[in-house]
A and B are shown apart, each in its own frame.
Chain A
Amino acid sequence: MLLPLAELSKMEKAVVKHYLDDRIATRLIALGLKPQQALRVERFSPMGDAIYIRYGSSQMAVRRSEALQVMVEAI
């Protein structure tokens, strides 16, 4: 079942499937969040507008609006 990354809950794990926006795709892939990459949502920012994601050996911050463009499969 595919859903946007932005809709995952805290501590949920998922695998990246594809992207809905090209600009976001290039940036995320260059950062290592590529298709088939496993990730976990660590937490949200105080106002809920940004998401802290852990993947591989790294962690990153993305906006909710950016995460809406990434389709993942929960695991």
Chain B
Amino acid sequence: MPRIALLGNPNSGKSTLFNALTGLSQRIGNFPGVTVDKKVGVTTIPDLGKVELIDFPGCYSLYPNSRDERVVVDTLIYPDSAVYPDMVIYVVDVKHLERHLLLATQLLDLQIPLVIALNMSDQVEGLSIDEEVLAQALSVPVVSISARYGEGVDQLKRLVADTVRADHLIAKPFYTIQGEELQVYQQVALQAGATNAYAGKVIAHHHTWLSHLNDDQRSRISTLLEQVDFNNVAGQVEETMTRYDQYGAILQGMHHQLDREDSFTTTIDRLITHRFFGPVLFFLILFLMFQAIYSWATGPMDWIDEAFAQLSAGVSAVMPDAWYTSLLVDGLIAGCGGVVIFIPQIAILFFLVSVLEETGYMSRAVFMFDGLMQKVGLNGRSIVALVSSGACAIPAIMSTRTISNERERLITILVSPLISCSARIPVYVVLVAFVVPAGKVGVFDQQGLVFMGLYLLGIVAALVIAFLLKLVLPQREPSQLMMELPRYQLPSMKNVWTTVKERVKAFIVEAGKVIMVISVILWVLASYGPAGQMQAAEAEVEQRVEQESLSSEQAADLLASKKLEASYAGIIGKSIEPVIRPLGFDWKIGIALITSFAAREVFVGTMATIYSVGSTDDELSLRDRMRTEVREDTGQPFYDLATALSLLIFYVFAMQCMSTLAVTYKETQSWVWPAVQLFYMTGLAYIGSLCVYQLLS
């Protein structure tokens, strides 16, 4: 299958064209060796059949400034590279023709077959003359298209077919390398196994990091360059300026008004980036987004809960009462439910973020918050992740892909879980009542204030830890802003939909695997115990049911409670009691801490089981039951201010979400970082709890 690369500047509409051509066939992977998205799809070209289409990261020139752009150079300079294309479709935003042609002329000089697509042609008139002038001047097929509306795509496909089938190169070189330099570059090209002098020049500029060179080649090239006083950057600047001058002349000959400012964008930006109203508007938008995620997701999530509960009940009813039924129902089906339950939040978050991104708004947000975020080692885009974490850290962590600086992205991922997510709310609800009675302080609800305090604590912790990480983690690439602010445009819902689908799919497949495995492990721990102990527990319960004439519901609750105690999870919980006693906890809480490692909201369910109120499904009855619990030694209520606050603080900081760890693993492609998250958050939780409990008791 012929392979075609889609190249162009960021914001050229390249992805819209890619989506239009490949539709459902696209998959996302990584470029070899780097965490850069590689989108691959298949499209059919008349007279040619199926072709593989690869969407490369947006790139301004062959002198790259980021990891993304490096991938383009690395691939195109080396004909034997894994994804070296047979030809390139170069997508241009015709409104910014002058700037966008830079990379095109560089590609011509690498002698890669090229077709230029002047995109967004629906936004300018008088274009047919332009196409011919440009095509003539560059000796390259040029076509006007509008990827969003599907115009010109057939013509584009025809030109692609022609180009692939042509057995000689039509293009002529653009930039001429003079005299002495020419010789040097030819020699470099020879050393590196490249085809022409311009390739040699590009290699000369980047020989220190290009992946296909070995050390021997690198040092030989270095020597060559030293001999002629090669100036890396001055050379790049001079070449770029020459190119601009050269095609500037061509563009003069085109009947198309350049430098046309978009007054719509200018006017809107007066409000959007206003020094005061800009941030206000931003937080309003984020608040609405957060509310939307919360309210729109609740319905589907309840429905999913219900559906899985019915599935479990159905399967249990039909299958025999054996261990494999329990594995299927409580392990696998529950685990699966634990993955699916996140889909509504992920889908909604990515829908909203994608719409904002498509309109061009996100870059304005980055502009406004870059300074503040940089102080704590974060990026302007990190603020979206942090706010989204208020709903759920999982889609928030997934959204950090758009942060190109490695360290900023990593820090964002590491601290996002500190923001209080919606899963902590049931825990807060149960415990807040033990900290502060219902009532008012002035006009404010006391318990509401405590709630807010907990949220604030998470936010402050996130910023502080981010700052500390900034001091500790090395910065491998220079951080920069220098960012294009694209014109505002209506979001392409097709692009939005594609993004949502990709993210949901990626989550289910990748994180899903990890979540399922951990679910099953926890199920084993909670359902099985050392030989004899389970039976002993059952026997004990049977006795008590008789002696105390318990109802069948009470009996079931008691049985569940005793079996949990006797299980491995129970044993682990009891064994960590000495460690958690300084925090004011006992083994019952210990067991709940173990099981809620799966997910925070499991804490409430486990506590309910341990306290034998498992069959009732609400937090209030659990709370009532907890009020009656007393400490063995003092006879005082167990859940006093100190213990409750200590437990609350523990939950603010602790990493109790295997799904978060799974997603962190997936996004960082390493187990190191999830381990770091688990370790530092557990440490923070322990210390926080310890301080609070010791101070208050």
Q: Report if A29 contacts B (CB, 8 A).
A: yes
Cβ contacts A49-70/B at 8 Å (1 or 0 each): 1101010111111110010000
The residue that A49 contacts in the complex, of B273, B371, B482, B484, with Cβ under 8 A, is B371
Cβ contacts A7-21/B at 8 Å (1 or 0 each): 000000000000100
Cβ-defined contact, A50 with B371, below 8 A: yes
Cβ-defined contact, B61 with A52, below 8 A: no
A28 to B65, alpha carbons, bound, how many Å? 10
A52 to B371, alpha carbons, bound, how many Å? 13
A26 to B513, alpha carbons, bound, how many Å? 44
In the assembled complex, how far is the CB of residue A17 from the closest CB belonging to chain B, in whole angstroms? Answer: 13
Q: Report if B165 contacts A (CB, 8 A).
A: no
Cβ-defined contact, A50 with B237, below 8 A: no
A22 to B279, alpha carbons, bound, how many Å? 33
Q: Report if B269 contacts A (CB, 8 A).
A: yes
Q: A25-B237, A27-B65, A52-B269 are in contact. Are A60 and B98 (CB under 8 A)?
A: no
Cβ-defined contact, A46 with B278, below 8 A: yes
Cβ-defined contact, B237 with A56, below 8 A: no
Q: A60-B483, A61-B370 are in contact. Are A54 and B98 (CB under 8 A)?
A: no
In the assembled complex, how far is the CB of residue B161 from the closest CB belonging to chain A, in whole angstroms? Answer: 32
The residue that A46 contacts in the complex, of B96, B102, B276, B484, with Cβ under 8 A, is B276
Cβ-defined contact, A54 with B481, below 8 A: no
Q: Report if B262 contacts A (CB, 8 A).
A: yes
A45 to B60, alpha carbons, bound, how many Å? 25
Cβ-defined contact, A66 with B240, below 8 A: no
Q: Report if B317 contacts A (CB, 8 A).
A: no
Cβ-defined contact, B240 with A56, below 8 A: no
Stretch from B360-368, B547-555, B557-565 forming part of the interface with A = B360-368
In the assembled complex, how far is the CB of residue B364 from the closest CB belonging to chain A, in whole angstroms? Answer: 8
Stretch from B111-119, B253-261, B345-353, B531-539 forming part of the interface with A = B253-261
Cβ-defined contact, A31 with B367, below 8 A: no
Using a CB-CB cutoff of 8 Å, which residues 59-116 of chain B contact chain A?
60-61, 63, 65, 95-96, 98-99, 102
Cβ-defined contact, A50 with B233, below 8 A: no
Cβ-defined contact, A57 with B259, below 8 A: yes
In the assembled complex, how far is the CB of residue B68 from the closest CB belonging to chain A, in whole angstroms? Answer: 13
Q: Report if A73 contacts B (CB, 8 A).
A: no
Q: Report if B478 contacts A (CB, 8 A).
A: yes
Q: A57-B260, A61-B363 are in contact. Are A43 and B234 (CB under 8 A)?
A: no
Cβ-defined contact, B370 with A49, below 8 A: yes
Q: Report if A2 contacts B (CB, 8 A).
A: no
Size category, B interface: 35 or more
Residues of B within 8 A of A48 (CB): 371
Cβ-defined contact, B258 with A47, below 8 A: no
B370, closest chain A residue (CB): A50
For A, the interface residue count at a CB cutoff of 8 angstroms equals: 34
In the assembled complex, how far is the CB of residue B484 from the closest CB belonging to chain A, in whole angstroms? Answer: 5
Residues of A within 8 A of B60 (CB): 27, 30-31
Q: Report if B241 contacts A (CB, 8 A).
A: yes
A17 to B374, alpha carbons, bound, how many Å? 29
In the assembled complex, how far is the CB of residue A49 from the closest CB belonging to chain B, in whole angstroms? Answer: 3
Residues of B within 8 A of A56 (CB): 96, 98-99, 258-259
A3 to B99, alpha carbons, bound, how many Å? 25
Residues of B within 8 A of A66 (CB): 480-482
Q: Report if B244 contacts A (CB, 8 A).
A: yes
A27 to B102, alpha carbons, bound, how many Å? 12
In the assembled complex, how far is the CB of residue A5 from the closest CB belonging to chain B, in whole angstroms? Answer: 11
A52 to B262, alpha carbons, bound, how many Å? 15
A24 to B664, alpha carbons, bound, how many Å? 33
B257, closest chain A residue (CB): A57
Cβ-defined contact, B241 with A35, below 8 A: yes
Cβ-defined contact, B102 with A30, below 8 A: yes
Residues of A within 8 A of B261 (CB): 54, 57
In the assembled complex, how far is the CB of residue B535 from the closest CB belonging to chain A, in whole angstroms? Answer: 67
Cβ-defined contact, B370 with A63, below 8 A: yes
Cβ-defined contact, A63 with B275, below 8 A: no
A70 to B63, alpha carbons, bound, how many Å? 19
Cβ-defined contact, B273 with A27, below 8 A: no
Cβ-defined contact, A45 with B371, below 8 A: yes
Cβ-defined contact, B371 with A34, below 8 A: no
Residues of A within 8 A of B63 (CB): 26, 30
Cβ-defined contact, A26 with B233, below 8 A: yes
Residues of A within 8 A of B236 (CB): 26
Q: Taking each of A24, A34, A59, which has the highest tally of chain B beta carbons within 10 Å of its own beta carbon? A: A59
In the assembled complex, how far is the CB of residue A48 from the closest CB belonging to chain B, in whole angstroms? Answer: 8
A59 to B265, alpha carbons, bound, how many Å? 9
Cβ-defined contact, A62 with B482, below 8 A: yes
A28, closest chain B residue (CB): B482
The residue that B258 contacts in the complex, of A31, A34, A49, A57, with Cβ under 8 A, is A57
Knowing that A34-B240, A48-B371 are A-B contacts, what are 4 other residue pairs whose CB atoms are under 8 Å apart, sorted by A's residue number? A26-B236, A46-B279, A49-B371, A60-B485
Q: Which 8 pairs across A and B sit closest by C-beta, in order of nearness?
A: A49-B371, A22-B233, A30-B60, A32-B99, A61-B367, A30-B61, A63-B481, A59-B485
Instruction: Give 25 pairs: A residue, B residue, CB < 8 Å, sorted on A.
Output: A22-B233, A23-B233, A24-B482, A26-B233, A26-B240, A29-B244, A30-B63, A30-B102, A31-B99, A34-B241, A42-B266, A43-B274, A44-B275, A45-B273, A45-B275, A45-B369, A46-B278, A50-B481, A56-B96, A59-B266, A60-B482, A61-B367, A61-B481, A63-B370, A63-B482
Where the two chains meet, the residues of B that have a C-beta atom closer than 8 Å to any C-beta of A are 60-61, 63, 65, 95-96, 98-99, 102, 232-234, 236-237, 240-241, 244, 258-262, 265-266, 269, 273-276, 278-279, 363, 366-372, 374, 478, 480-485
